[in-house]
Amino acid sequence: MVSFAVDAGAYDRFMGRYSVRLAPSFADFGGIAPGHRVLDVGCGPGALTTELVRRLGATAVAAVDPSEPFVVAARERHPGVDVRVAAAEQLPFADGEFDAALAQLVVHFMDDPVRGLAEMARVTGHDGVVAACVWDHAGGQTPLAPFW
């Protein structure tokens, strides 16, 4: 399990500036709309969580991350959201509990991505959405590409 031991503010200044801008498009891609209950997997300090709360309200959103500092930050930023320390490969939720499970820029950090995605599918209802997005490393579209 990859866990970041970094201050949430430092993370926000680096990766968060991409995550915040990506979140609305990713939520659109996932078809997230009022009435849904959604899980943010690998939430970090809460960039996607913020967009989900904006669309659905805090009580319709849950989030997990293996990094304690990120979970603390996400809880502080999003009162009312069920934010837990957990890895994607062992989600602490019941089968079919969510209408969607989203993983934004996190699959490449999972110890076992296939297991993590299977867990996302397990906690998502039969007609639900499981969606993930990652950097296009093969195509050279990484966060540091503009610097090289």
pLDDT digits (tens, 9 = 90+) for 120-133: 999 999 999 999 99
What value does the mean pLDDT of the chain take? Answer: 86
pTM of the model: 0.85
**C-alpha to C-alpha distances, 5 to 28, 65, 66, nearest whole angstrom:** 30, 12, 10
The residue with greater pLDDT, 6 or 31, is 31
pLDDT of residue 118: 98
Confidence check: pLDDT of 138 > 60: no
pLDDT at 148: 43
Q: Where are the alpha helices (DSSP H) in 36-126?
A: 47-56, 68-77, 113-122
